[in-house]
Structure 1
Amino acid sequence: MKVEITDVFLRDGLQDEPVIVSTAHKLEIAEALVDAGLKRIEVASFVNPKRVPQMADAAEVVASLPTVPGVTYTSLALNGRGIQRAVEAGATDIQVVTSASQTHSNANAGQAIEDALANLGAAVAGFPEIRFFAGISTAFTCPFEGAIDPAYLLRVVRAFTDMGITDVGLADTLGTTPSEQVMASLHHVRGAEPDITYYLHLHNAHSQALATASAAVETGVVRFDAALGGYGGCPFAPGRTATSPRRSLSGTCTTPDTRRASTRTASPRLCGSPSTSSLIPRRPAFSIPPAKPLFTASTPVHRPPRRSSHQTFWGQ
């Protein structure tokens, strides 16, 4: 079965790193991913730059990306202001995101789920020319509330379908949800809304993301998010871990040339042996590569300000 992978390194992979990667380096990474054969790449999130300074150059990144036939660049937004900024920058494919957990929604977007959905719905209606798709964070497990009731998840899915959105992603934000629970929730929402195209965004705390992906493929799910080298994580989800490593997921599902991308773009961890390309529990700081470096001794390293535990929302 042919499976479509969206590489989310440039957004999910970089948003939680302790350094800020320059716009030029991000564009070089995007070029390397395209050269490696990736056809769908998430490149930025249009969120509050004070909360997620790693994404402060989202508009510059999107506006500077080269047009490549057959390649789709996607962006992420949490609210109407983010959607407006993305459209102004030239984004054509925008993921609109909310949480399935009220507590995580307040931490991540600074507002209740209902308010977030109402804000997104009004903005989506204003841009009929844009290809919108949806993402639901903490779709299965919340770091604050625990397991998510599939019936509540379905309500959020239906809120997006009411906007006219027919592609919906479900995220295991912590990567701790057992495969059986993911599949049970997926079965519930697919049974109630069978005409929706579903995809999965899996993190890998318990080294079960690939097993979950394989189980989902068996049921006909054909779209997954993954990240070069397994980088990634929500800055506002305590206990989060990195995203499914794309090289491992690619070995299960499809065959883009991941070695070409990892050799060009980052650290020894990204282009190491198969054992090191799986996730590492304690993530090191962003490394300096030995050849064709993105970071050198003379490259200024900008470190984001420390986040306040009392002001953690990152929408704008």
Structure 2
Amino acid sequence: MFILPNNVTIIEVGPRDGLQNEKKHVDEQHKLAFIKALLGAGITEMELTSFVSPKWVPQMADAEAIIAGTERIGRQFVLAPNAKGAELARAADVRSIAVFVGVSNTFNLKNINRTTDDSMDALEPVIAALKADGLFVRACISTAFYCPYEGKINPTAVVALCRRFAALGADELSVADTIGMANPQESYQLFTTLKKELPDLLLTAHFHDTRKMAMANIFAALQAGVDRFDTSAGGLGGCPFAPGATGNVATEDVVHMLDTLGITTGVDVKKVCEAVQMIAPHVTRPIDTGMYRLFENKQL
């Protein structure tokens, strides 16, 4: 008999994580329409954009306009990888800010030219300032299972990094299978440990579907007691600094699975598919998720 949560929170990451690696420029008005449609589908937590250098991630150059043009509903995050990004986010009156660090030293060096320890040292005053101002801090833990450069990651290193974020005052941990190599046993074991070690923090699972294991990993995480999941409408996404990382697990497919399990999300699958339909003409990645195919064929 499976013990599963009654309710699950879906954190929509499509507007940021889903679009950041898109080669084709997506105009501001299309992003805003996408976000509005997702809010209309019942999404109450969403990662809208990121305050990063346009030189490195040009797709996010319109961050201020996206924040200004989005109705404030629920908890809305922006990614701010450093002090400058956090400063810009605060100036835009963002109240929930995500920071990120990879467990893998090599990943961090390739991504932000710092080791994991150096990255944490740099983030410590940033997080302290955000918490002093009463902001919500979401800590994204990249390469929590496997790294494209170092291979399998030791779970003890993941727990240690999560503990360090907890000590700094982070409100939430988003623990990511960045390149989609985890299996359900690894998912269950790591999230069981984290739930036990850090019971007072919000714990979110973030799976990429590179090897079509994301749904199985989510089910394993559900059994471990996780009730928050990052998903991306249309399965959009992929990290520009993680070779081999394909799209995130699709919001519409995850919500459908949870619906069939009797787990409440408050998210309307058909309306998510309508949001995907709006953004699909503006991205190069083909949308080929299970529920979206049914929607296109008028079977949903």
1:136 matched to 2:141: yes
Residue 140 (structure 1) shift? 0.8
Give the conservation status (yes or no) of the 8 Å contact 1:8–1:42: yes
1:171 matched to 2:181: no
- Give 3-state SS (helix, strand or coil) of 2:226's partner: coil
Structure 2 counterpart of 1:274: 291
- Give 3-state SS (helix, strand or coil) of 2:243's partner: coil
Name the stretch that deviates more: 54-63 or 255-264: 255-264
Residue 191 (structure 1) shift? 3.1
TM-score (norm 2): 0.87
Letter in 2 for 1:274: M
C-alpha distance in 2 between matches for 1:108 and 1:218: 33
In structure 2, relative to structure 1, the CA distance for the partners of 1:32 and 1:82 (3 Å cut) is same
Structure 2 counterpart of 1:84: 87
Match of 1:256 among 267, 273, 285: 267
C-alpha distance in 1 between matches for 2:95 and 2:22: 27
C-alpha distance in 1 between matches for 2:200 and 2:273: 36
Structure 2 counterpart of 1:306: none
Structure 2 counterpart of 1:8: 13
C-alpha distance in 2 between matches for 1:46 and 1:256: 27
1:197 matched to 2:202: yes
Residue 271 (structure 1) shift? 8.6
Give the conservation status (yes or no) of the 8 Å contact 1:40–1:73: yes
C-alpha distance in 1 between matches for 2:42 and 2:201: 27
Q: Deviations over 1:110-134 (max 9, x none)?
A: 2111121111110111122211121
TM-score (norm 1): 0.82
Report 1:75-154 matches (<5 A).
Answer: 75-127=78-130, 128=132, 129-154=134-159
Output the aligned Cα RMSD: 2.1
Q: Deviations over 1:216-264 (max 9, x none)?
A: 1122110000011100111110111100011110012235123224324
C-alpha distance in 2 between matches for 1:255 and 1:122: 36
In structure 2, relative to structure 1, the CA distance for the partners of 1:162 and 1:258 (3 Å cut) is same
- Give 3-state SS (helix, strand or coil) of 1:266's partner: helix
Gaps of 5+ in 2: 1-5, 259-264
Residue 141 (structure 1) shift? 0.6
In structure 2, relative to structure 1, the CA distance for the partners of 1:9 and 1:72 (3 Å cut) is same
Report 1:33-72 matches (<5 A).
Answer: 33-68=38-73, 71-72=74-75
Give the conservation status (yes or no) of the 8 Å contact 2:191–2:224: no
- Give 3-state SS (helix, strand or coil) of 2:182's partner: coil
Gaps of 5+ in 1: 279-288, 290-316
Name the stretch that deviates more: 220-229 or 177-186: 177-186
- Give 3-state SS (helix, strand or coil) of 2:138's partner: strand
Match of 2:232 among 227, 230, 236: 227
- Give 3-state SS (helix, strand or coil) of 2:47's partner: strand
Give the conservation status (yes or no) of the 8 Å contact 1:168–1:197: yes
C-alpha distance in 2 between matches for 1:80 and 1:119: 8
Structure 2 counterpart of 1:244: 249
Structure 1 counterpart of 2:35: 30
Structure 2 counterpart of 1:73: 76
Number of corresponding residues: 277
C-alpha distance in 2 between matches for 1:32 and 1:275: 15
Letter in 2 for 1:94: I
Name the stretch that deviates more: 184-193 or 151-160: 184-193
Report 1:206-217 matches (<5 A).
Answer: 206-217=211-222
- Give 3-state SS (helix, strand or coil) of 2:144's partner: coil
Give the conservation status (yes or no) of the 8 Å contact 1:46–1:77: yes
Letter in 1 for 2:13: V
Structure 2 counterpart of 1:281: none
